């Protein structure tokens, strides 16, 4: 049986290799179609990045509003506590001060969230700009060689963003290497 399995494995490898060779041949004979597909995928990635950037911007806006509301409430509670004390209502002053303590504990968390969302927004904006630049380059360039064609991305937005970060890093490395070599921009 082991001989049969090894024959099956070898046949499977030959079949897979043949399919890949056929796909490579099709890609090289239809470069315009491949370029069009790459442009469609780039447009889809731009749309997804714009959506993610919009979500991050909305979340940052919500966090800013929450921060401002907490600060206003904190200030109002000071006035309320003073009023309660002037009316001999220590219980109300105590409740106002307790809420102030809660707000003071919550503010650093909201500030941390704001900083994180601001960073995320900046990263997404940078990725979007880089992708749009790459998309413009693709639209104006001649047919892409098969090696320069990106692979199909996964459907998960997080995976796509990670893949985009990797592509951006590779592009930055290529640009720096070209500068070190004295070559013009790739």
pLDDT tens, position by position, 115-127: 999 999 998 888 8
Could you tell me the CATH number of the domain that includes residue 53?
Answer: 1.10.287
Has residue 183 been placed in a domain?
Answer: no
**What is the average per-residue pLDDT within 12-24?**
66
Examine the pLDDT at 3 and tell me if it is beyond 70. Answer: no
Question: Structural domain tally of the chain?
Answer: 1
Rounded to the nearest integer, the mean pLDDT of the chain is 80
Has residue 103 been placed in a domain?
Answer: yes
**Whole-number Å distance between alpha carbons of 179 and 171:** 12
Centroid of chain to Cα 114: 17
Has residue 30 been placed in a domain?
Answer: yes
**Percentage of the chain modeled with pLDDT above 70:** 74
Has residue 82 been placed in a domain?
Answer: yes
Helix-strand-coil percent breakdown of the chain, rounded to 5?
90, 0, 10
Global confidence as pTM: 0.58
Residues of the domain holding 67: 2-152
**What is the average per-residue pLDDT within 54-70?**
96
């Amino acid at each position: 049986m082991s001989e049969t399995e090894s024959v099956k494995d070898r046949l499977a490898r030959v079949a897979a290799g043949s399919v890949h060779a056929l796909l490579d041949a099709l890609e090289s004979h239809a470069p315009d179609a491949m370029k069009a597909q790459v442009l469609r995928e780039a447009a889809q990635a731009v749309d997804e990045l714009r959506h993610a950037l919009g979500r991050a911007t909305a979340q940052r806006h919500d966090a800013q509003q929450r921060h401002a509301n907490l600060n206003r409430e904190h200030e109002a509670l000071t006035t309320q506590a003073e009023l309660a004390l002037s009316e001999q209502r220590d219980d109300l002053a105590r409740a106002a001060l307790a809420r102030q303590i809660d707000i003071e504990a919550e503010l650093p968390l909201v500030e941390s969230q704001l900083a994180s969302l601001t960073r995320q927004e900046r990263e997404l904006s940078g990725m979007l700009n880089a992708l749009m630049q790459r998309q413009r380059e693709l639209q104006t360039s001649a047919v892409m060689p098969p090696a320069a064609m990106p692979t199909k991305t996964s459907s998960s937005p997080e995976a796509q963003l990670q893949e985009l970060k990797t592509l951006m890093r590779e592009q930055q490395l290529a640009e720096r290497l070209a500068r070190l070599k004295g070559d013009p921009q790739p």
